[in-house]
């Protein structure tokens, strides 16, 4: 059990800027967390939330300039020697990252990760003690000790995040920092992970600093909330008070945006024309255990649906239900076992050559992480014009002019200010606008959005959804909207399909699914969803 009493974290008049920059990312920051507190740090994209976590652990680029005090269990991490700092990382604070797969060694087993951490801090223990403690930690976060020898790639996203939590609590630190720990998880798994993390912190007496862009999630699991803007804490109050009556301008904006995501976007008048028809689509992956015995993973199994012009169809479900496989199957990125994909009445699975290429242009995709799908060496203008040049639809001069028009269309105005910049120079919301512009360059009739707002804060989420609705109305787009967030889907989509194990478990309007879910999986998704209702006295602020 953590023995430290008092403030586990004290930040006093702290300033920080990156090497070579004159701009202070954190500027005059004052913030404290007492032993056992559960505090959420929220704010718009680029406000400095994650930078605070990196500064606490001194995980900043070499040459970064820091001023002021940053005390972790009474020790200033910016002044102590490297060996003491390494000891504090793990013993004084545990860190849970947003994407655990990028922080785990793919060549080490689950048990190996834990044993390695324990050995580094407790070298005097014997081999059996390490093994027993590692198995105990796995069991504590809901992973069977039988998975001790499994590798990270053999786990689901939620299980990998549980391993990250086990690593964070391995040495019973007095502070846990969780930086967007549920962003890439579906609501059901996110609820399980946060419930596990919150319970463990309570059992161990550990303080929790939750960094999140999701106000509803933050309010559900933390009794206190601090709002940061431009590197400064502008509001620090009990969660209920802050959400009922925010005092800062940015707090008001964030609460308004979070509440707006619950409200229904104005529906469009759908036309009767069927644009996309899916009939008994099957996407099975074979597992050849032995040559004479074939096993299949039925990722997409006999799915049928249709979309009219101007309609938005939502696809929701837990991790592994087949959402992304369905996207890839429609885009021709994975092989199919059977079924039909009719675009404007023509089965594109039977097309070849030029006909197939033209059909593929009519169906474009917006991915979850725009930074990962844009070439970091290409300028924004080059990324948007590239599809036009690849498909030989325009000359370089014409493509350049069309690119400027597309950037203006998605709200990146003036276009000249953005077209010569690299992806790394834009914010997450701006990058998602670039990804949408790139998808629209080929004049599609169907736009597939795969978790296209899940990594954005509430303000930017609303802006992107509003942009998509505006473009849909102007261009007559049909949208297939894939998401793990049933609340957002219910506000944005005309109808929703709930997937489970590659099959359709339920389909209905968003309002009907939220108010009267029929399938067991839908009920689980509804129960796990975090929402800010229009009346804040109806909000459940206490964790389950």
**Three state DSSP letters for 241-309:** HHHHCCCCHHHHHHHHHHHHCCCCCCCCCCCCCEEEEEEEEEEEEEEEEECCEEEEEEEEEEEEEEEEC
User: How confident is the model over 73-94, as a mean pLDDT?
Assistant: 87
Asked whether residue 405 carries a pLDDT value surpassing 90, the answer given is: yes
- Three-state DSSP class for 412? coil
* pLDDT for position 539: 43
* Residues forming a β-bridge with 15: 67
Contacts of 106 (CB under 8 A, 6+ apart): 151, 152, 153
Question: 81-85, 155-159, 378-382 — which is least confidently predicted?
Answer: 155-159
Q: How far apart, in whole angstroms, are the C-alpha atoms of residue 240 and residue 311?
A: 37
User: How confident is the model over 374-391, as a mean pLDDT?
Assistant: 92
**Other Cβ atoms within 10 Å of 470 Cβ, number:** 13
- Three-state DSSP class for 528? helix
- 126 CB-contact burial (10 Å; exposed 0-12 / middle 13-18 / buried 19+): exposed
Q: Could you give phi then psi for residue 303, rounded to 5 degrees? A: -95, 135
* pLDDT for position 534: 47
CB 496 within 8 A of CB 316: yes
- Three-state DSSP class for 139? helix
Location of structure tokens 């429609």: 330
- The model's confidence at residue 452, banded by pLDDT at 50, 70 and 90, is confident
Q: Is the peptide bond before 302 cis (omega within 30 degrees of 0)?
A: no
Domain with CATH 3.40.50.300 in the chain: 7-258, 276-538
Asked whether residue 239 carries a pLDDT value surpassing 50, the answer given is: yes
Contacts of 75 (CB under 8 A, 6+ apart): 84, 88, 92
Asked whether residue 379 carries a pLDDT value surpassing 90, the answer given is: yes
Asked whether residue 196 carries a pLDDT value surpassing 90, the answer given is: no
- The model's confidence at residue 486, banded by pLDDT at 50, 70 and 90, is confident
Q: Pick 7-258's CATH classification: 3.40.50.720, 2.40.110.10, 3.40.50.300, 3.30.70.100.
A: 3.40.50.300
Q: How far apart, in whole angstroms, are the C-alpha atoms of residue 253 and residue 248?
A: 9
Q: What is the mean pLDDT of the chain?
A: 86
Q: Could you give phi then psi for residue 162, rounded to 5 degrees? A: -65, -40
* pLDDT for position 532: 67
- The model's confidence at residue 130, banded by pLDDT at 50, 70 and 90, is very high
* pLDDT for position 454: 80
User: How confident is the model over 214-218, as a mean pLDDT?
Assistant: 87
Segment holding 259, helix H or strand E: helix 249-260
Q: Dihedral sign, CA of 14, 18, 20, 23?
A: negative
- The model's confidence at residue 270, banded by pLDDT at 50, 70 and 90, is low
Q: How far apart, in whole angstroms, are the C-alpha atoms of residue 189 and residue 22?
A: 41
- The model's confidence at residue 4, banded by pLDDT at 50, 70 and 90, is low
User: How confident is the model over 422-442, as a mean pLDDT?
Assistant: 88
Share of residues in the chain with pLDDT > 70 (%): 93
Q: How far apart, in whole angstroms, are the C-alpha atoms of residue 68 and residue 30?
A: 10
* pLDDT for position 114: 95
Q: Could you give phi then psi for residue 491, rounded to 5 degrees? A: -85, -25
* pLDDT for position 541: 39
Segment holding 31, helix H or strand E: strand 26-34
| Model pLDDT for residues 296-338, shown as the tens digit of each residue | 778 888 999 999 999 999 999 887 788 888 988 888 888 888 8
* pLDDT for position 266: 62
Q: How far apart, in whole angstroms, are the C-alpha atoms of residue 392 and residue 404?
A: 18
- The model's confidence at residue 529, banded by pLDDT at 50, 70 and 90, is confident
Q: How far apart, in whole angstroms, are the C-alpha atoms of residue 27 and residue 234?
A: 12
- The model's confidence at residue 353, banded by pLDDT at 50, 70 and 90, is confident
User: How confident is the model over 216-220, as a mean pLDDT?
Assistant: 88
Q: Residue 191: which of 224, 157, 221, 211 has the closest Cα? A: 221
Question: 438-442, 491-495, 533-537 — which is least confidently predicted?
Answer: 533-537
User: How confident is the model over 527-536, as a mean pLDDT?
Assistant: 64
| Model pLDDT for residues 108-127, shown as the tens digit of each residue | 999 999 999 999 999 999 99
Q: Which CATH class is domain 276-538?
A: alpha beta
- The model's confidence at residue 538, banded by pLDDT at 50, 70 and 90, is very low
Q: Dihedral sign, CA of 83, 87, 90, 95?
A: negative
User: How confident is the model over 507-529, as a mean pLDDT?
Assistant: 89
């Amino acid at each position: 059990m953590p023995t430290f009493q008092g403030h586990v974290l004290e930040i006093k008049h702290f300033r920080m800027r990156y090497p070579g920059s004159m701009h202070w990312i954190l500027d005059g920051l004052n913030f404290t967390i007492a032993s056992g507190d559960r505090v959420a740090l929220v704010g718009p994209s680029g406000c400095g939330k994650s930078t605070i976590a990196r500064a606490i652990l001194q995980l900043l680029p070499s040459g970064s300039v820091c001023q002021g005090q940053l005390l972790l269990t009474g020790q200033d991490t910016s002044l102590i020697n490297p060996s003491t700092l390494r000891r504090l990382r793990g013993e004084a604070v545990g860190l849970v990252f947003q994407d655990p797969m990028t922080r785990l060694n793919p060549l080490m087993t689950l048990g190996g990760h834990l044993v390695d951490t324990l050995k580094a801090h407790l070298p005097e223990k014997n081999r059996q003690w390490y093994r027993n403690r590692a198995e105990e930690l796995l069991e504590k976060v809901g992973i069977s000790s039988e998975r001790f020898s499994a590798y990270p790639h053999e786990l689901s996203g939620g299980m990998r995040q549980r391993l990250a939590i086990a690593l964070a609590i391995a040495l019973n630190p007095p502070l846990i920092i969780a930086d967007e720990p549920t962003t890439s998880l579906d609501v059901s798994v996110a609820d399980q992970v946060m419930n596990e993390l919150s319970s463990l912190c309570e059992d161990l007496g550990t303080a929790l600093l939750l960094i999140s862009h999701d106000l509803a999630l933050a309010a559900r699991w933390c009794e206190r909330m601090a709002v940061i803007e431009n590197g400064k804490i502008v509001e620090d109050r009990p969660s209920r008070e802050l959400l009922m009556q925010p005092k800062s301008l940015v707090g008001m904006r964030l609460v308004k945006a979070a509440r707006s995501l619950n409200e229904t976007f104005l529906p469009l008048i759908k036309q009767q024309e069927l644009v996309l028809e899916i009939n008994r689509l099957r996407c099975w992956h074979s597992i050849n255990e032995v040559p004479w015995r074939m096993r299949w993973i039925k990722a997409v199994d006999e799915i049928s649906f249709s979309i009219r012009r101007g309609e938005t169809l939502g696809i929701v479900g837990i991790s592994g239900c087949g959402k992304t496989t369905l996207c890839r199957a429609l885009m021709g990125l994975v092989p199919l076992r059977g079924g039909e994909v009719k675009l404007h009445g023509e089965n594109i699975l039977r097309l070849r050559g030029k006909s197939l290429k033209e059909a593929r242009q009519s169906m474009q995709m917006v991915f979850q992480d725009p930074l990962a799908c844009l070439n970091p060496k290409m300028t924004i203008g080059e990324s948007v014009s590239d599809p036009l040049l690849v498909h030989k639809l325009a000359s370089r001069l014409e493509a350049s002019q069309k690119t400027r028009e597309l950037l203006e269309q998605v709200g990146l105005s003036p276009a000249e200010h953005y077209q010569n910049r690299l992806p790394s120079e834009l914010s997450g919301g701006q990058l998602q606008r670039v990804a949408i512009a790139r998808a629209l360059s080929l004049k599609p009739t169907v736009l597939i959005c795969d978790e296209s707002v899940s990594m954005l804060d509430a303000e930017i989420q609303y802006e992107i959804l509003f942009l998509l609705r505006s473009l849909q109305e102007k261009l007559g787009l049909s949208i297939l909207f894939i998401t793990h967030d049933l609340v957002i889907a219910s506000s944005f989509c005309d109808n929703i399909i709930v997937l489970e194990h590659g099959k359709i478990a339920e389909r209905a309007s968003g309002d009907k699914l939220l108010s009267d879910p029929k399938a067991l999986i839908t009920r689980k998704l509804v129960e796990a969803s975090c929402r800010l209702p229009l009346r804040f006295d109806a909000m459940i602020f206490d964790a389950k």
